[in-house]
A and B are shown apart, each in its own frame.
Chain A
């Protein structure tokens, strides 16, 4: 079945450091890919998305490029801030044989950014 594997944390960085969180997927076809973020005590928020190969999703300084050849969707940010401390989830849309769709999540990567 469709699945997502992402780099397990926790990841601890200093402010202004470069961030990469790796995500690879296994899927039939070319599913839409997402990064969701969960700030402490809050729900899941969509961070960015890409719907086809070579698409680049971007938001709040974060970027991820849909790489079909490596089945990857790595999250990057050039200069992290303390306020970026959160748990980041990579996800894909999975379609069942019956045609219904659901999000399938990776295990999440906890990021802590220190001042």
Chain B
């Protein structure tokens, strides 16, 4: 069964550095998402992406965050200048149709020191 893949599984970075989290959604999916989960807390929506543009973003998704679909397969989340509070598990998800279940990747654990 096709699945969403995320790399790396764990990223450690210093405060102020830029990070790029990578995702390969399921190939025939059209809607893409990033969520994050701070340790022990709820899963929070960051951003949704469709037709090469952002559909919706949360308050968390400020100017330090950006998303891109540079080619037909990858979907990336960039954090320009990481802060300690950006430490979390970041999940990529995709779906083919609206109102359908999302398929999630296994996540990238980001640790900012």
On A, residues with C-beta under 8 Å from B are 32, 34, 36, 42-46, 49, 51, 89, 93, 96, 98, 100-108
On B, residues with C-beta under 8 Å from A are 31, 33, 35, 41-45, 48, 50, 55-56, 91, 93, 98-99, 101-107
Given A43-B104, A102-B45, 19 other A-B contacts at CB below 8 A? A36-B104, A43-B91, A43-B106, A44-B43, A44-B91, A44-B104, A46-B102, A49-B101, A93-B99, A98-B55, A100-B48, A100-B56, A101-B99, A102-B48, A102-B56, A103-B102, A104-B45, A106-B42, A108-B43
Which listed residue (A45, A98, A104) contacts B104, Cβ 8 A?
A45
Work out how many contacts link A and B, with CB atoms closer than 8 A. Answer: 51
Q: Tell me the nearest residue of chain B to A41, going by C-beta.
A: B106
The distance in angstroms between the C-alpha atoms of A32 and B98, with both chains bound, is 11
Which applies to chain A's interface (DSSP): helix, strand, loop or mixed?
Answer: strand
In the complex, 19 of the A-B residue pairs with CB atoms within 8 angstroms, ordered by the A residue number, are: A34-B101, A43-B104, A43-B106, A44-B43, A44-B91, A46-B102, A46-B103, A98-B55, A100-B50, A100-B55, A101-B31, A101-B48, A101-B98, A102-B45, A102-B48, A102-B56, A103-B93, A103-B102, A106-B42
